[in-house]
């Protein structure tokens, strides 16, 4: 079920910070108490192949997110201890050394389960034992959420495991949210910061299309 337009779940989750401390993070509180937007991105597993490319890409773009008053948080179903080990593994060895944003450790799958982003396609009912069995690892898809300063979800998206994300697209979406907040205008297809937006009316749409 989509949570776009709704407050993000009010739930604390264990996390690992850049100092190696296990902390608790409430994504909704991060937005509201800091009056910042939040980008939360989920990835399937630590110590894999596509995942470190995404974490490094978000780290490289971190100054751009900070310019946009946006907190970046990563998340998976690994434990905080596994996050710590990965954070201390050099990039050349497939690690994420140098990543400075918090990483949620949703090992009990409370938040990812609530969001409905777990790969449960291998779930089956074992008639003999009467138990629901899981053949796979029950990890999260590549899900992404963008919250505004009130903790309301403006964007959510889910990629299957093999498909990495385009970090620049999230910067564009955050720019569009900020433009709408500031000017009250809506942002048409392929809009980028600095381009024309339009008022929310059929006439404005017709005028825009006639010029483009």
Whose CA is closest to 154, among 183, 174, 134, 133? 174
- Residue 185 near residue 208 (C-beta atoms within 8 A): no
The Cα 161–Cα 42 span in angstroms is 11
CB-based burial, 80-110: b 16+ in 10 Å, e otherwise: bebbbebbebeeeeebbeebebbbbbbbeee
Annotated catalytic residue, options 15, 16, 51, 99: 51
77 is catalytic: no
Q: Which residue has the tokens 């978000």?
A: 58
The Cα 118–Cα 3 span in angstroms is 16
Residues recognised as catalytic: 51
């Amino acid at each position: 079920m989509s949570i776009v337009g709704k407050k993000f779940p009010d739930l604390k989750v264990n996390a690992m910070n850049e100092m190696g401390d296990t902390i608790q993070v409430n994504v909704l509180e991060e937005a509201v108490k800091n009056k910042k937007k939040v980008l939360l991105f989920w990835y399937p597993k630590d110590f894999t192949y596509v995942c470190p490319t995404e974490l490094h890409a978000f780290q490289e773009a971190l100054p751009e997110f900070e310019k946009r008053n946006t907190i970046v948080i990563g998340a998976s179903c690994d434990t905080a201890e596994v996050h710590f080990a990965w954070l201390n593994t050099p990039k050349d060895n497939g690690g994420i050394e140098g990543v400075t944003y918090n990483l949620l450790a949703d090992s009990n799958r409370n938040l990812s389960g609530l969001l409905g982003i777990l790969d449960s396609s291998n779930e089956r009912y074992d008639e003999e034992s009467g138990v629901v069995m899981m053949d796979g690892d029950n990890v999260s898809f590549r899900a992404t959420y963008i919250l505004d300063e009130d903790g309301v979800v403006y964007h959510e998206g889910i990629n299957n495991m093999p498909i990495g994300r385009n970090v620049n697209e999230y910067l564009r979406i955050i720019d569009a949210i900020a433009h709408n907040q500031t000017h009250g205008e809506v942002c048409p297809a392929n809009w980028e910061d600095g381009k024309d937006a339009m008022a929310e009316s059929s006439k404005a749409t017709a005028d825009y299309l006639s010029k483009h």
